[in-house]
Amino acid sequence: MNSNGVVEWAVVESDIGPLLLAATDSGLVSVVFHARPAVRDRALAQLRSRLGAELVESPGSARLAEPIRQFAAYFAGTLRDFSLDLDWSLTSGFNRQVLRELSAGVPYGAVAGYGDLAERVGQPGAAQAVGAAMGSNPLPVVVPCHRVVERDGGLGGFGGGLETKRRLLALEGVLPQPLF
């Protein structure tokens, strides 16, 4: 739990719609897709209950300045690697292990299969559990679960929706840009 019990958050526009970014004094703790009011309010209620923290909307916050800058640069195509302090407190155990491996080991412009990631964390055969870990990822885009795809070339699932996954992979040059 962060020392002062405050989570600062802001909603920022992006090429894939509004994103809610939330940070503790340890780092970025949550990224939420499609953060229109109903989704945003549900996400904030979950953060409040899971972190036991006070939530403060703070778009000008020093804590959020660098995440906001890096997201803008990523969508502009000028940033390939996020270098942010991350607060991993919303994930633990196997999920955290898989997400950390994904973060460290699957660079911009690359993809990995669910089974590949399971093997990398020493759990061959745990591809479905890897899928669940991707679905629980509290830090999408920064921890690039959009880069995890099915072995047969299918996109696999995605918490932000397949259209969002397609657009992120197109931005990174893995898929052709959509024609319209």
pLDDT in tens, 77-104: 999 999 999 999 999 999 999 999 999 9
pLDDT digits (tens, 9 = 90+) for 10-60: 999 999 999 999 999 999 999 999 999 999 999 999 999 999 999 999 999
The vertex-151 CA angle with 148 and 153, nearest 5°, equals 85
Which whole number is the average pLDDT over 121-141? 95
Q: Which of 106, 145, 168, 171 is the catalytic position?
A: 145
59 a catalytic residue: no
- Give residue 3's pLDDT: 43
- Give residue 179's pLDDT: 64
Dist. CA 14–CA 69, nearest whole Å = 11
Please state the pTM of the whole predicted model. Answer: 0.92
Dist. CA 11–CA 18, nearest whole Å = 6
- Give residue 178's pLDDT: 67
Alpha-carbon 127 to chain mean position: 19
Backbone angles phi, psi at 5, to 5 degrees: 65, 20
pLDDT digits (tens, 9 = 90+) for 149-165: 998 878 888 889 999 99
